[in-house]
Chain A
Amino acid sequence: MNIAFFYALTGVGLFTLGVYALIVYTHLLRKILAINVMGSGVFLVLVALAARTQNAPDPVPHAMVITGIVVAISATALALALMLRLRDASNHIELPDESVE
């Protein structure tokens, strides 16, 4: 197994960590952090699989990941604005915990 697969597995681990934190935590800012970690994991998988070539890496996933990073920060900015607005409107920063009733 060459090193690209190790990074791909790290990406899978990051994605799973992000999903866990997204589901478990009720604080909205933590959820936004979790989504960013998930995004980073996905990008790592993409670029790691693109590095499997003989000499130069495949540039198309690189371009997609650069686009993805910019889209991720736009989504994060919008999500943060939504979170602040939600807190102003409802005075709660956590989603109600309805998992156990």
Chain B
Amino acid sequence: MTLLQWTFDIVLGLTLLWLAFRALTSEDLFKGIVLFIAFGLLMALAWVRLNAPDIALAEAAIGAGLTGALLLAALAKLESATTETSATVKDENAEGLNSKSSEAQSHD
């Protein structure tokens, strides 16, 4: 294993972890889903590095492309209905300490 290959693999692994963390903890759901699509594409790279080209093809098409499209469509349906009914369904990052109070807000 040459140094270049090791460096590439370590950078890829760390980027995967960082992307997943950012996708899951982002404030904006749209940004999170887009980061998730990027995460899927980098997973396709990881499959190639692990000698699994079939999985790379499947992951790029299904895992990144179709799952991303499904998630974005669901997000669009969520947000369009929100603006229609004018109920504030807040997209809350649960890191905040006031998740319970803002949920009380959205209940009315």
Taking CB as reference atom, which chain B residue is nearest A95? Answer: B103
Is there an interface contact between B89 and A93, defined as CB atoms closer than 8 Å?
yes
Among the listed B13, B54, B75, B103, which residue makes an inter-chain contact with A10, where contact means beta carbons less than 8 Å apart?
Answer: B13
Point out the residues of chain A lying under 8 angstroms from B52, CB to CB. Answer: 47, 50-51, 57, 62, 65
Main secondary structure of the interface of A (DSSP, over half): helix
With A47-B55, A80-B71 in contact, is A14–B17 under 8 Å at CB?
Answer: yes
Question: Interface residue count for A (Cβ, 8 Å)?
Answer: 53
With A21-B25, A93-B89 in contact, is A33–B36 under 8 Å at CB?
Answer: yes
Among the listed A9, A65, A80, which residue makes an inter-chain contact with B55, where contact means beta carbons less than 8 Å apart?
Answer: A65
Q: How long is the Cα–Cα vector from A94 to B55 in the complex, in angstroms?
A: 34
Point out the residues of chain B lying under 8 angstroms from A2, CB to CB. Answer: 1
Q: How long is the Cα–Cα vector from A72 to B59 in the complex, in angstroms?
A: 11
Q: How long is the Cα–Cα vector from A84 to B67 in the complex, in angstroms?
A: 16
Point out the residues of chain A lying under 8 angstroms from B38, CB to CB. Answer: none
Point out the residues of chain B lying under 8 angstroms from A87, CB to CB. Answer: 78, 81, 89
Point out the residues of chain B lying under 8 angstroms from A40, CB to CB. Answer: 20, 39-40, 43, 63
Point out the residues of chain A lying under 8 angstroms from B103, CB to CB. Answer: 26, 94, 96-97
B43-81: CB near A (< 8 Å → 1, else 0) gives 100110111101100110011001100110011011001
B75-99: CB near A (< 8 Å → 1, else 0) gives 1011001000101010111110001
Point out the residues of chain A lying under 8 angstroms from B32, CB to CB. Answer: 30, 33
With A57-B51, A69-B59, A73-B67 in contact, is A30–B17 under 8 Å at CB?
Answer: no
